[in-house]
C-alpha cells in the first residue's frame, strides 16, 4: 500500500492529467450537442450491427414458431379464397369489386430491432419510403393483435412506436357492445402482456373475458383483435371506467409485422381538416 502511494505521488503529474483530461472530455461530450450526437451515432452504429448479427441467430431459433404462424395464416387465407371462388357468378347479382375498391392493403415487414424492456419501446422494420410507408400508418401483428404506429421513415427502414410506449393511444371498442375506449400501455405498467383500456363511459358493463377490438376510427382498420379483458371496471378518479386486458400480441417474439396502408387516409385527413375547429 505504501509503495502504491509512493508510486502515485511520484507520477502525480500523470495521474492528475488522466483525471482532469477525462473530466474535460466528459464535459465536452455532455454539453455540446454536436459532439454528443457524433458519439451517440457511432455507438448506435456499433450497437445496430451487433443487433443485426444477433437477430440472425434469434430468427433461426424461432423458426418453428414462425412456421406455425405462417401455416395458420395460410390456412385462413385459403379458406377465404375458397369463399371467394365459390361465388356463383352465373346468377344475376351485383358483384362488388373488392380488388380496386379495397381500402386497406397490408405489407409484410421483418422486425430488425425490437425492445420490450424500456418505458418507451421503439422497434425497427426493414421497409421504408421505397415501399410506400409513411409516418402514422398502423402496424398489426401477423395472427392477431396490434403493434403500434409508424414513427420515422427512411428509404429502406422505418421505426415503430409500439404499444409499449407512453405516447401510444389506440381507439378500441368492446366487440360485444361497441363501447368506445382508448388503449394505452399505462403508467407504471412494465408487463408486456398487459395493457389498459381507458375512458370507457361509466354506464358500460364490462366482464372478464370480453374481447376488445380496434374501432376503426384511427389508422387501424376496424375489428383487429387486441386482447381479452382480465380485470374489468377498474374505477378511476374521473367519470370513466378502465379495464386491464391481456394482449394477444406477444411483443417479445415478434418477427414479422403487417403495415396497414389506408388508401383513403389522405382523403379523410383533407376532408376532416376542412371543418373549422371552433364551429
Partner 1 sequence: MNSRIIIVNVIRWFLLLFVQIFLLKNMGFYDLSTPFIYVLFLLLLPFGIPNILLYVLAFATGLALDAFYDTMGVHATACVVLAFVRISFISISLNRDAIDDPEPSLSYMGFQWFSLYAFLCVAAHHLVLFFLETFRLTEIGYTLMRCGLSCIFTLLIIFLVEFIFYKRTPR
Binding residues for partner 1, per CB under 8 A?
A: 12-14, 16-17, 20-21, 23-32, 34-35, 38-39
Pick 9 or 117: Cβ nearer partner 1: 9
Q: How far is the CB of 19 from partner 1 (least distance, A)?
A: 8
Q: How far is the CB of 45 from partner 1 (least distance, A)?
A: 13
The three cell numbers locating residue 78: 385459403
Pick 27 or 65: Cβ nearer partner 1: 27
Q: How far is the CB of 41 from partner 1 (least distance, A)?
A: 10
Pick 16 or 271: Cβ nearer partner 1: 16
Q: How far is the CB of 22 from partner 1 (least distance, A)?
A: 9
Q: How far is CA 169 from CA 9, 38, 58, 166, in A?
A: 60, 33, 30, 8
Pick 20 or 217: Cβ nearer partner 1: 20
For the chain, where are the alpha helices, taking DSSP H only? 2-10, 12-31, 33-61, 63-85, 265-274
Pairing of strands 211-214, 170-174: antiparallel
Q: How far apart are CA 275 and CA 279, in angstroms?
A: 8
DSSP 114-152: ---SSSS-EEEES--GGGT--TT-EEE-SSS-EEEEEEE
Q: How far is the CB of 52 from partner 1 (least distance, A)?
A: 23
Q: How far apart are CA 223 and CA 68, in angstroms?
A: 23
Pick 23 or 65: Cβ nearer partner 1: 23
For 240, phi then psi, to 5°, come to: -120, 160
The three cell numbers locating residue 277: 375547429
Q: How far apart are CA 141 and CA 26, in angstroms?
A: 42
Q: How far is the CB of 14 from partner 1 (least distance, A)?
A: 7
Pick 38 or 75: Cβ nearer partner 1: 38
CB atoms within 10 A of CB 256: 15
Amino acid at each position: 500500500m505504501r509503495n502504491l502511494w509512493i508510486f502515485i505521488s511520484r507520477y502525480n503529474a500523470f495521474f492528475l492529467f488522466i483525471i482532469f483530461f477525462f473530466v474535460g472530455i466528459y464535459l465536452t461530450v455532455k454539453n455540446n450537442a454536436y459532439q454528443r450526437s457524433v458519439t451517440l451515432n457511432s455507438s448506435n452504429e456499433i450497437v445496430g450491427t451487433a443487433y443485426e448479427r444477433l437477430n440472425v441467430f434469434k430468427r433461426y431459433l424461432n423458426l418453428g414458431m414462425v412456421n406455425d404462424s405462417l401455416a395458420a395464416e395460410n390456412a385462413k387465407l385459403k379458406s377465404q379464397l375458397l369463399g371467394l371462388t365459390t361465388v356463383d357468378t352465373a346468377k344475376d347479382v351485383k358483384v362488388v369489386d373488392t380488388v380496386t375498391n379495397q381500402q386497406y392493403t397490408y405489407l409484410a415487414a421483418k422486425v430488425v430491432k425490437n425492445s420490450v424492456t424500456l418505458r418507451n419501446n421503439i422497434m425497427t422494420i426493414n421497409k421504408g419510403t421505397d415501399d410506400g410507408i409513411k409516418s402514422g400508418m398502423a402496424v398489426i401483428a401477423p395472427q392477431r393483435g396490434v403493434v403500434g404506429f409508424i414513427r420515422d421513415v427512411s428509404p429502406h427502414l422505418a421505426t415503430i412506436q409500439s404499444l409499449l410506449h407512453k405516447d401510444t393511444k389506440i381507439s378500441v371498442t368492446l366487440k360485444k357492445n361497441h363501447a368506445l375506449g382508448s388503449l394505452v400501455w399505462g403508467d407504471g405498467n412494465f408487463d408486456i402482456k398487459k395493457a389498459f383500456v381507458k375512458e370507457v363511459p361509466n354506464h358500460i358493463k364490462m366482464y372478464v373475458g370480453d374481447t376488445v377490438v380496434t374501432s376503426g376510427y384511427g389508422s387501424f382498420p376496424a375489428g383487429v383483435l387486441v386482447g381479452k379483458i382480465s380485470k374489468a371496471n377498474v374505477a378511476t378518479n374521473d367519470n370513466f371506467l378502465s379495464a386491464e386486458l391481456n394482449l394477444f400480441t406477444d411483443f417479445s417474439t415478434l418477427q414479422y409485422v403487417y403495415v396497414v396502408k389506408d388508401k383513403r387516409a389522405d382523403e379523410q385527413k383533407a376532408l376532416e381538416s376542412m371543418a373549422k375547429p371552433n364551429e
